[in-house]
């Protein structure tokens, strides 16, 4: 599903109706599109086909209601097709590929009556364990909660704030409480995030900053999580009835993700049906001034609530897509949009740096009890897009890399090795994937196994 090549792609293809189709089709005048058709197809009350389509420039699936002339669709397959578009008419040019698969598509429907939940809805500001409940399943620190009412607020978490930030160096530390009942589900959820991101989930010693997974004994509440890294011990609390998807959702909050329907561009995709939301819960649907959008809006996001979240009347939703569809809360997988959103956060995403050492001009001499060695070591930084450091990545913007330099010498007066450590910042230019730090000359000489001179420089990436 990664290779989707678009020759010409315009959003207007999603805004027409089947009645707009014209009879005459001049291929010479038509636009040539290459689009991906997802494995499921919906029908509305008039039995009009609605295909899921997307381009390679977006992680958002959209509906195409027009018939594609000459296209014979088979359920359970994903197609990559070339089509001609003239006005509002579509004609199949060729099928590039047809793959048997269950595509990752949003869970939309046409029925107002859906997955109304008996879950308990918690009011914003409720105090639990000295934290403030927010949007039903997030726990905010006092500092974060105070920011909610500040017009200066840009984000409740930042890159460098030691108390309300993102996890550093892509390492997320965690432990399980001794009586935690959902270890297997939590391990599966952690593996899902690990598979779809560059994050490393590391078993903690219970020191420093870490997440503790705990049981939640509150009827009707499936999960609660702190937002981002809050400093010291923080919790993800999981209650009865939770699934792997519930835990994946709560981990998303601990990484610093808000709910999808709170994005600044939400109104371009979702209509909030205020009349079916209790006034006490309106704050959970307002577009805030504290969030920073990552990636693109995604109806398949693990962080999106369903159309019935907080609805007073179970026969009507609280949210719909702007074209009138209801949507479910996807809790099965980390979507491509979720992983792209994480990757767009600078401290979580690529590049991953690798320091390459190349040894040159080695000279070794041994005379009786004397051993002499000299060599040059060239240090180079390479940028990769994958955790295994196999795919070189060309930078789109300049990046600053912090280096630590260890200089170790033999001090004849003290008869011991002396190490000094300094730091250095280097800037990798946009358009590059490699940075040459330079070459250092190293010396180590011994007499009868004891050092007589030693001067070695070692670089490492902080």
User: What are the catalytic residues?
Assistant: 250
What's the distance, CA 369 to chain centroid? 59
Residues sharing a CB contact under 8 Å with residue 201, sequence separation 6 or more, in sequence order: 172, 174, 190, 193, 194
What's the CA gap between 226 and 243, in Å, rounded? Answer: 19
What's the distance, CA 278 to chain centroid? 32
User: What is the rounded end-to-end Cα distance, in angstroms, of the chain?
Assistant: 36
In the sheet that holds 399-411, the strands lie side by side as 352-367, 370-384, 434-447, 450-461, 399-411, 416-428
CA-derived radius of gyration, the chain: 28
Both structure tokens of 228: 């981002």
Residues sharing a CB contact under 8 Å with residue 304, sequence separation 6 or more, in sequence order: 259, 260, 261, 298, 327, 329, 330
What's the CA gap between 14 and 337, in Å, rounded? Answer: 20
CA atoms within 13 A on the CB side of 184: 0
């Amino acid at each position: 599903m990664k290779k989707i090549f678009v020759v010409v792609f315009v959003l207007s293809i999603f805004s027409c109706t089947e009645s707009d189709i014209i009879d005459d089709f001049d291929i010479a005048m038509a636009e040539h599109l290459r689009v991906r058709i997802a494995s499921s197809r919906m029908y509305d009350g008039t039995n009009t086909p609605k295909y899921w389509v997307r381009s390679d420039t977006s992680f958002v699936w959209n509906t195409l209601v027009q018939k594609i002339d000459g296209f014979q669709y088979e359920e359970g397959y994903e197609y990559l097709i070339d089509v001609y578009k003239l006005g509002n008419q579509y004609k199949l040019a060729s099928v590039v590929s047809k793959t048997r698969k269950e595509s990752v598509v949003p869970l939309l429907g046409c029925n107002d009556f859906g997955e109304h939940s008996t879950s308990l809805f918690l009011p914003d500001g409720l105090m639990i364990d000295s934290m403030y409940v927010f949007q039903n399943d997030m726990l905010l620190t006092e500092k974060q909660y105070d920011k909610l009412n500040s017009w200066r607020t840009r984000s409740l978490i930042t890159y460098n704030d030691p108390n309300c930030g993102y996890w550093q160096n892509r390492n997320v530390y965690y432990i399980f409480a001794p009586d935690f009942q959902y270890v297997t589900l939590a391990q599966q959820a952690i593996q899902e995030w690990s598979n779809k991101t560059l994050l490393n989930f590391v078993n903690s010693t219970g020191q420093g900053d870490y997440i503790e997974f705990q049981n939640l004994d509150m009827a009707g509440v499936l999960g609660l999580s702190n937002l981002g890294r809050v400093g010291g011990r923080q919790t993800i609390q999981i209650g009865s009835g939770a699934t792997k998807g519930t835990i994946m959702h709560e981990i998303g909050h601990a990484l610093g993700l808000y709910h999808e329907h709170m994005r600044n561009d939400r109104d371009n995709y979702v209509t909030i049906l205020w009349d079916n939301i209790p006034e006490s819960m309106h704050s959970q649907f307002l577009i805030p001034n504290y969030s920073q959008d990552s990636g693109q809006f995604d109806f398949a996001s693990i962080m999106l609530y369903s159309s019935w979240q907080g609805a007073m009347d179970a026969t009507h939703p609280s949210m719909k897509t702007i074209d009138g569809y209801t949507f479910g809360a996807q809790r099965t997988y980390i979507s491509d949009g979720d992983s792209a959103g994480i990757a767009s956060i600078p401290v979580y995403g690529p590049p991953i740096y690798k320091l390459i050492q190349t040894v040159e001009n080695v000279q070794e001499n041994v005379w009786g009890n004397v051993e002499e060695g000299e060599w040059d070591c060239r240090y180079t930084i390479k940028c990769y897009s994958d955790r295994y450091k196999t795919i070189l990545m060309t930078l789109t913007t300049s990046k600053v890399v912090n280096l630590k330099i260890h200089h170790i010498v033999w001090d004849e007066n003290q008869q011991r090795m002396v190490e000094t450590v300094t730091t250095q910042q280097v800037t990798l230019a946009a358009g590059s994937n490699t940075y040459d730090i330079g070459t250092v000359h190293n010396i180590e000489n011994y007499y009868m196994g004891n050092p007589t001179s030693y001067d070695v420089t070692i670089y490492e990436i902080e």
